[in-house]
Amino acid sequence: MARVLSRDPVDIENILALNPRKQTHATLHSTAAKKQVKKQWKRNSDKSCSNCEKLENNFDDIKHTTLSERGALREAMRCLKCADAPCQKSCPTNLDIKSFITSIANKNYYGAAKMILSDNPLGLTCGMVCPTSELCVGGCNLYATEEGPINIGGLQQFATEVFKAMNIPQIRNPSLPPLEDMPEAYHVKIALLGAGPASLSCASFLARLGYSNITIFEKQEYAGGLSTSEIPQFRLPYDVVNFEAELMKDLGVKIIFSKGLAMHGMTLRTLKEDGYEAVFIGIGLPEPNRDSIFQGLRMDQGFYTSKDFLPLVAMASKPGMCACHSPLPSIHGTVIVLGAGDTAFDCATSALRCGARRVFVVFRKGFTNIRAVPEEMELAKEEKCEFLPFLSPRKVVLRGGQIVAMEFVRTEQDNEGNWKEDEDQVVRLKADVVISAFGSVLSDNKVREAMTPIKFNRWGLPEVDLETMQTSEPWVFAGGDIGGLANTTVESVNDGKQASWYMHRYIQSLHGIAVSTVPELPLFYTPIDLVDISVEMAGLKFPNPFGLASATPTTSSSMIRRAFEAGWGFAVTKTFSLDKDIVTNVSPRIVRGITSGPMYGPGQGSFLNIELISEKTAAYWCKSVAELKADFPNHILIASIMCSYSREDWTELSKMAEVAGADALELNLSCPHGMGERGMGLACGQDPELVRNICRWVRQAVQIPFFAKLTPNVTDIVNIAMAAREGGADGVTATNTVSGLMGLKADSTPWPAVGGGLRTTYGGVSGNAIRPIALRAVSAIARALPGFPILATGGIDSAESGLQFLHSGASVLQVCSAIQNQDFTVIDDYCTGLRALLYLKSIEELEDWNGQSPATMRHQKGKPVPRIADLMGKKLPSFGPYLEQRKKIIAENKLKLKEQSIAAALPEKKHFFPKKPIPAIKQLNSLPVPVAGLNSSPSLFSTLLLRRVGQHSSNQKKHSRSLRLQRCNLGQNLPSRM
């Protein structure tokens, strides 16, 4: 029997059976059957603890906030980019969060990292361990939505991790003189005690200010302080801390290990005698707060404080932290952890990784009083730690010198809110190990004596001015835990940042130099920031290739002023005309597009506008041009003008703009709505002959360069560009908006709808939706007219999209919709992004990157996925019973690795440097985009087709040209479609 051609083979049909099918009836499956089936497909963990995952020696990342590139981009797009962002106000270091999220959304990961590290030198550490739910995330306006707040910590971690992979050094502020030319005050000796977050931050900012003789003294053999010794590897790997310390050392800061306060005779007095003019104390609180019931208990009996236990875990699990090769603490049986702070939960989750069978977290108050952030508590809960509230420790029970149990009494809260212990309610819990996490203190008398002569407060800590971070001795500053106010890593970082400015002011005052009362701490810089992105085109020098298009962002000259202050390289004024052609705009006239679906807020994929040209007079714009050029002589200002098809009008208006001081002109021959009915804009720009004539008139009238702004609403834009060049234009702008109708409501009402009659017109579509059209236009013109300047516009919303246009043949780039989506400050993101893209092109080690995107690893939820095939020789799915098998295989492998000693040191850091010249922007657009088929002979079919289309269109062209001439001559009398 012959095979039926309209059916696929059986094996293909079997595969296609998985495709969706139209439902014709309700399905029926028994509850018993569904209970069994669901087990085969589950991806989340089973709640039953009988199958608990073995975590011993598993220090892989467990943070919920970790993101892959895909996850980071989707999360960044959700951000509202609030103008007065509450997240920034909630961040101790005052990170410009909306700006770094904007950079991530634009795939400018270097720009995001630069923004983060400029305000927080420990930006990667804080991205991993910050209690964001209590800080920035707690203030996010999206907390009030169904989707929830932005994962700010995860985005911060992602951006700084990508920068870490770039392996690029930090450099001094490029505006500073060379080290040898710095004033004497910048060569004084500065000491920082302790290499924790506060000191690393303080030293980084002092080095950025220009100080060259900075030394950190650290009593341990590693940097990072408590971030290294007390935050577990699965939350904060040591190579992260080391990366940030190396960035600081790039600026010349020295770290001397195994030397600290009260060690080898070091005191504040000896530092003064050794010539140190300023000292920062950032030693933390090194001793545990030990309850009296634990006096005399030792680790070999089963008792640890958090300051005993966590450093032992860290040294055994953090590669590169030290060369000690120490094993993990031997924990077995049942563990009780006392406390309700972040440290207590770190102890609990670490105990599981040291072999504990069960872990109980016991605390005096209720769940609503837990001091730990929800993220920490949730992680411990997921790992099957048990929580026991309302219990206060009373007694440790020993048998044979070993801990076997603990006794507690019940705590209760009275009506006045006071907590009381009820001695009649006694609870006894069996335990093999007890870990106390009751906080830290400064109790070492030798350390206190070494800090003489500074004064101490009633809590036994140095008296510190909370604004300047100065102690009772003006030359001594303190911050972090020892300052008495910082409770988190990020707050310690901010203490160091705050102290650095006031240390700078103090040191300069010693040398008789006045310093601004307004803090001016330098930003973070790398060699990327030295890349030249200036452009020369048509005899004009552009500071950077990004400028404002003639559109809503240039509605007034005050807006252009703000744009120049923000850093835009050039601007094209809103199109203006002679007074006789002045217009009045309607409202509403700009609406969001529907191309992105039901997405609101910033990040709109398109807009539609029915806005006409400027309502302001030519005199207003000419005066504005003169003012702006006087204040911003190095910025390029282009006057956009429009007239009807009249030589006298074009001559008069172009001369007015030239006399006003405009650097160049843009001839608007392309406005797709409203102006065509007046015989202007599109009515002139669709005919090569009219374009050629207008360009000739302007060329004869002025000496400055001018560019014809082209419309995409033509059959062949190249013909229009050729006509402009033949008419004497110095270049073209490609392209204006695409004519379109954005949408209709269910009752057929158009949007936008104007007036009581709810009328509309075909408007101009802009934004990302028209980028493919604009790219095609730019590349086609560049191929047909090599070397002819092109000002590209149409969907440029990032450095990455701008680079696409530059590769396509554009000379400079005009932006509009992206500014409507956000604000003028996006220029900083565009410039840093373009510099980074150009710089990374020259680094051979990153050749497998796509722009700023590293190669994608195998991952789930942003975390690397082990290759089970490498461990057992075959693949396994990641769901149902296979998921449990995968976990078991990974757990067994971790136990095998436990017997092997971890690497004693991190690999030697070697920065990546360019091994070939960094490309200039001019080189990018010198080679047109290769288009398939353009250089090959057309087929017979396409030849015949082109002939037939050509014969048909030639007749239409003659007819449409005569109509356009009539409209240009009589256009002012034609009715608008409004």
Please name which of 225, 223, 289, 287 lies closest in space to residue 446, comparing C-alpha atoms: 287
**Lowest mean pLDDT: which of 46-50, 251-255, 819-823?**
46-50
pLDDT of 895: 81
Please name which of 331, 364, 361 lies closest in space to residue 348, comparing C-alpha atoms: 361
Helices (H), 330-481: 342-353, 374-382, 445-450
Instruction: Flag whether pLDDT at 938 surpasses 80.
Output: no
Cα–Cα distance list, 970 to 420, 652, 683 (Å): 93, 20, 11
**Lowest mean pLDDT: which of 292-296, 738-742, 823-827, 859-863?**
859-863
Higher-pLDDT residue of 283, 867 = 283
Percent of the chain with pLDDT over 70: 93
Q: What is the mean pLDDT of residues 905-912?
A: 80
pLDDT of 50: 56
* pLDDT tens digit sequence for 369-386: 899 988 889 999 988 899
The whole-model pTM stands at 0.92
pLDDT of 968: 46
Confirm if 539 and 241 have CB atoms less than 8 A apart. no
Instruction: Flag whether pLDDT at 977 surpasses 70.
Output: no
Q: What is the mean pLDDT of residues 24-33?
A: 93
Instruction: Flag whether pLDDT at 973 surpasses 80.
Output: no
Measured distance CA(666)–CA(708) in Å, rounded = 6
What is the four-CA torsion angle of 542, 543, 544, 549, rounded to 10 degrees?
A: -60
Q: Where residue 679 falls among pLDDT bands split at 50, 70, 90?
A: confident
Instruction: Flag whether pLDDT at 203 surpasses 70.
Output: yes
Instruction: Flag whether pLDDT at 904 surpasses 60.
Output: no
Whether 671 is a known active-site residue: answer yes
Is the Cα dihedral 467, 501, 250, 836 positive or negative?
positive
Q: What is the mean pLDDT of residues 128-146?
A: 94
pLDDT of 13: 87
pLDDT of 873: 80
Instruction: Flag whether pLDDT at 790 surpasses 50.
Output: yes
* pLDDT tens digit sequence for 577-624: 999 999 999 999 999 998 878 888 888 999 999 999 999 999 999 999
**Chain centre to alpha carbon of residue 105:** 7
Q: Where residue 885 falls among pLDDT bands split at 50, 70, 90?
A: confident
pLDDT of 722: 98
pLDDT of 901: 55
Q: Which of 140, 671, 684, 816 is the catalytic position?
A: 671
pLDDT of 4: 83
Instruction: Flag whether pLDDT at 971 surpasses 80.
Output: no
pLDDT of 860: 85
| Mean pLDDT score across all residues of the chain | 91
Higher-pLDDT residue of 883, 850 = 850
Please name which of 240, 179, 239, 243 lies closest in space to residue 211, comparing C-alpha atoms: 179
Q: Where residue 534 falls among pLDDT bands split at 50, 70, 90?
A: very high
Q: What residues does 791 pair with on adjacent strands? A: 733, 812
pLDDT of 62: 86
Q: What is the mean pLDDT of residues 205-211?
A: 98
Measured distance CA(814)–CA(794) in Å, rounded = 8
Cα–Cα distance list, 756 to 243, 587, 759 (Å): 64, 12, 8
Phi/psi for 354 (5° steps) reads: -100, 5
Q: What is the mean pLDDT of residues 400-414?
A: 95
pLDDT of 916: 92
Dihedral-angle region of residue 95 (phi above 0 means left; psi in -120 to 50 means alpha; beta otherwise): beta
Q: What is the mean pLDDT of residues 416-441?
A: 94
pLDDT of 48: 66
Q: Which two tokens stand for residue 233?
A: 């590897």
pLDDT of 528: 98
* pLDDT tens digit sequence for 284-329: 999 999 999 999 999 999 999 999 999 999 999 998 888 777 889 9
* pLDDT tens digit sequence for 34-84: 998 988 888 887 776 555 667 888 888 889 899 999 999 999 999 999 989
Secondary structure (DSSP) of 195-263: -SHHHHHHHHHHHHHT---EEEEESSSSSSTHHHHTS-TTTS-HHHHHHHHHHHHTTT-EEEES--TTS
Q: Where residue 942 falls among pLDDT bands split at 50, 70, 90?
A: very low
**Lowest mean pLDDT: which of 152-156, 199-203, 286-290, 810-814?**
286-290
